[in-house]
Amino acid sequence: MDLWPLLAYSVIVLVLIVGLLAVSALLGQKRKDHATHDVYESGQLSVGSANLRIDVPFYRTAILFIIFDLEVAFLFGWAISIREVGWLGFVEVLIFITILLAGLLYLWRSGALEWRTKRQQNDLAALKGEGGVVNVGREQSVAAQETHAHQTHDTGHTGAAH
């Protein structure tokens, strides 16, 4: 097997990378200060820190999305070659989907798909009455109706669309 084309391609790529970096370093602006005080692309000045804390459910959701996105990529490959793989390929895809559904069921049962915190879940469970209906006390319901009546009277709107 002739490896010269691969070696030539690798050398060309390395020379191109080094060359572009060298030209950029020679011709680019030399700045002593950091670019953190520059105006952002929207024209707004930077305020505060860019280091934000992101809740864990966002990371869990991102990872789950990637996993199930890869599932779709595998299924596309199977769908394209469905005639070549025949019944054996169909059985293998059924096993694959069954394993993924079992994983999704496990994630659902373990609470990985739940956005509410334990405290929010407990508060909601305390409000639920028979049949899963949220049980708001009479005092809260009357107060909400009175607040709505005052807002309607003050603004002159009945809540209907104009």
DSSP 48-86: S-S-----HHHHHHHHHHHHHHHHHHHHHHHHHTHHHHH
Distances (CA, A) of 83 to 74, 77, 79, 80: 16, 12, 9, 8
pLDDT band for position 8 (cuts 50, 70, 90): very high
CA distance 68 to 48: 36
In the chain, ranges of CATH 1.20.58.1610 domains: 54-115
pLDDT digits (tens, 9 = 90+) for 69-114: 888 888 888 899 988 989 999 999 999 999 988 888 888 888 777 7
Quote the pLDDT of residue 162: 43
Are residues 64 and 107 in contact, defined by beta-carbon separation less than 8 angstroms?
yes
Judged by DSSP in three states, 147 sits in helix
Burial of 78 (0-12, 13-18, 19+ CB in 10 A): middle
Which positions ≥6 away from 64 have C-beta within 8 Å?
Answer: 107, 112, 113
- Identify the CA nearest to 51 among candidates 31, 32, 33, 36: 36
CA distance 25 to 23: 5
Overall fold of domain 54-115: Methane Monooxygenase Hydroxylase; Chain G, domain 1 (1.20.58)
pLDDT band for position 116 (cuts 50, 70, 90): confident
pLDDT digits (tens, 9 = 90+) for 30-50: 776 666 556 556 666 666 666
